[in-house]
C-alpha cells in the first residue's frame, strides 16, 4: 500500500450513499486491519446492516450524541490496558486506509463502552468497545457534492522539537536529519476533536513521541493513530525504526507523557 498518498488524501466522510458495499470487500478491509499487527488480541465486529445499527446508536454515540448515518459500521474491542487501545486505533486506521484505497469513505465515531450499548449492538464479548467506524461510498451526487475539506493540521515543524523541548527546528534541520518528509506526512494524522495532542522530540538518534495528558479525551486512541502515521511514513521513506526503552533522559513538561521512544 502507498501510505504517503493516502495520508495526504484521506479525510473523514460524514455523508454516505445508500449503496451497499459488497461483503467480500468489507471482509478484505477487515482482513487488512486484522493482519496489520501480529498477535493483537483484539476483536473486530462488522455491522452490515447500517440502518439497524444507526437506530440503536442515534443519540448515544458520536460527538455530542450526533451519530453518523452510513451503510455499514465496524467496531474494534480491546482489553483495558492502554497498549491494547493503541493497537485498536492502529488497526482501525489501517482499515480506513484500505477502505480509502478501495474508493470508500470512513469516519471514526466516538462510542462509550457501556453494557447498554454492547447489548443494543448484540455484542457478547468481554473486551471493551474501543473504536467505532462508519464506512461506505462517499456521497457526491448531482444534488450534493462531497465538499467537506480535510480539517486543518499543524505543520511538520509545529509538531516537532529538536535537541530539547521547546526548540522548534527549521525545515532545513528536519531535512538534514532526513525527517522532513516523514513529519510532513505524520502531521496528517486524525485525532479526537482534531486536537492533535502530540509532539515529537528529536534527540540524537531518538525520536520521542509525547502526548498531552488530557483526562477529558481518550488519548490512547490518538496515540495509536499517530504511531501508525509515523511508522508507516518511515517505511514509505525508507527509514528503519526500532522502539527503544524510555531511559529517563528525555525532559518533557508535566502535562505531556512519553508514549514511545524510537531509535532511527
Ligand atoms: C478517536 C476519534 C474519535 C472521533 N469521533 C468522531 C465523532 O464522533 N464524530 C465525528 O464526526 N468525527 C469523529 N472523529 C473524526 C475527527 O473529528 C477527524 O478525524 C478530525 O477532525 C480530522 O478531520 P479529517 O479526518 O477530515 O481530516 C473522531 C476521530 C478520532 C481519531
Give span(s): CATH 3.40.109.10, the chain.
3-136
Res. 53: pLDDT tops 70: yes
Angle at 262 between CA 239 and CA 251, to 5 degrees: 135
Largest Cα separation within the chain, whole Å, is: 57
Ligand 1 test: best mutation among 54, 130, 146, 190, most atoms within 8 Å of CB?
190
pLDDT above 90: percentage of residues in the chain: 91
Ligand 1, residues at Cβ distance < 6 Å = 11-12, 14, 62-63, 68, 107-110, 150-151, 190-194, 221, 225
Distance 52 CA to ligand 1 centre (A): 22
Instruction: Give the pLDDT confidence score for residue 215 in this predicted structure.
Output: 72
Task: Return the CA Rg of the chain.
Answer: 19
Instruction: Give the pLDDT confidence score for residue 146 in this predicted structure.
Output: 57
Burial string for 114-126 (b: 16+ CB within 10 Å, else e) reads eeebbeebebeee
Q: Considering only CA atoms, which residue is closest to atom 1 of ligand 1?
A: 192
CB hemisphere CA count around 178 (13 angstroms): 10
Span 222-250, pLDDT tens digits: 999 999 999 999 999 999 999 998 888 89
In CATH, which superfamily holds the domain spanning 3-136? NADH Oxidase (3.40.109.10)
Span 22-42, pLDDT tens digits: 999 999 999 999 999 999 999
Instruction: Give the pLDDT confidence score for residue 214 in this predicted structure.
Output: 82
Q: What does the block give as the cell for 175?
A: 531535512
For residue 148, which atom of ligand 1 is closest to its CA?
A: 26
Ligand 1 test: best mutation among 59, 75, 150, 194, most atoms within 8 Å of CB?
194
Angstrom CA distances, 228 to 128, 223, 241, stand at: 21, 9, 13
Using CA atoms in the order 224, 228, 229, 232, what is the torsion angle rounded to 10 degrees? 170
Span 136-179, pLDDT tens digits: 999 976 666 556 677 899 999 999 999 999 999 999 999 999 99
For residue 193, which atom of ligand 1 is closest to its CA?
A: 17
Runs of H (alpha helix) within the chain: 3-9, 23-34, 50-57, 82-101, 115-120, 171-176, 180-186, 219-236
For the segment 105-117, the average pLDDT, to the nearest whole number, is: 96
Res. 186: pLDDT tops 90: yes
For residue 14, which atom of ligand 1 is closest to its CA?
A: 11
Give span(s): CATH 3.40.109.30, the chain.
156-263
- Do 85 and 130 form a contact (C-beta atoms < 8 A)? yes
Q: What is the mean pLDDT of the chain?
A: 94
Ligand 1 test: best mutation among 82, 192, 198, most atoms within 8 Å of CB?
192
Q: Determine the CATH number of domain 156-263.
A: 3.40.109.30
Res. 18: pLDDT tops 70: yes
Amino acid at each position: 500500500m502507498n501510505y504517503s498518498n493516502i495520508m495526504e488524501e484521506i479525510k473523514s466522510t460524514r455523508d454516505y450513499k445508500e449503496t451497499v458495499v459488497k461483503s467480500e470487500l468489507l471482509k478484505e478491509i477487515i482482513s487488512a486491519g486484522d493482519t496489520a499487527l501480529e498477535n493483537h488480541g483484539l476483536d473486530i465486529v462488522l455491522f452490515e446492516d447500517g440502518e439497524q445499527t444507526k437506530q440503536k446508536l442515534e443519540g448515544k454515540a458520536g460527538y455530542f450524541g450526533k451519530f453518523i448515518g452510513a451503510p455499514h459500521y465496524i467496531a474494534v474491542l480491546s482489553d483495558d490496558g492502554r497498549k491494547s487501545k493503541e493497537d485498536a486505533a492502529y488497526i482501525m486506521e489501517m482499515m480506513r486506509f484500505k477502505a480509502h484505497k478501495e474508493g470508500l469513505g470512513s469516519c471514526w465515531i466516538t462510542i462509550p463502552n457501556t453494557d447498554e450499548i454492547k447489548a443494543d449492538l448484540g455484542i457478547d464479548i468481554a473486551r471493551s468497545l474501543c473504536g467505532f467506524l462508519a464506512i461506505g461510498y462517499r456521497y457526491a451526487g448531482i444534488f450534493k457534492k462531497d465538499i467537506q475539506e480535510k480539517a486543518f493540521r499543524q505543520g511538520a515543524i509545529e509538531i516537532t522539537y529538536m535537541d530539547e523541548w521547546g526548540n522548534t527546528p527549521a525545515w532545513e534541520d528536519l531535512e538534514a536529519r532526513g525527517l522532513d518528509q516523514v513529519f510532513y506526512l505524520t502531521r496528517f494524522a486524525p485525532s479526537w476533536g482534531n486536537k492533535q495532542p502530540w509532539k515529537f522530540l528529536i534527540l540524537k538518534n531518538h525520536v520521542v513521541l509525547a502526548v498531552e495528558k488530557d483526562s477529558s479525551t481518550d488519548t490512547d486512541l490518538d496515540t495509536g493513530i499517530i504511531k501508525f502515521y509515523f511508522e508507516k511514513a518511515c517505511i514509505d521513506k525508507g527509514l528503519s525504526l526500532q522502539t527503544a526503552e524510555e531511559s529517563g533522559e528525555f525532559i518533557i513538561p508535566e502535562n505531556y507523557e512519553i508514549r514511545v521512544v524510537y531509535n532511527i
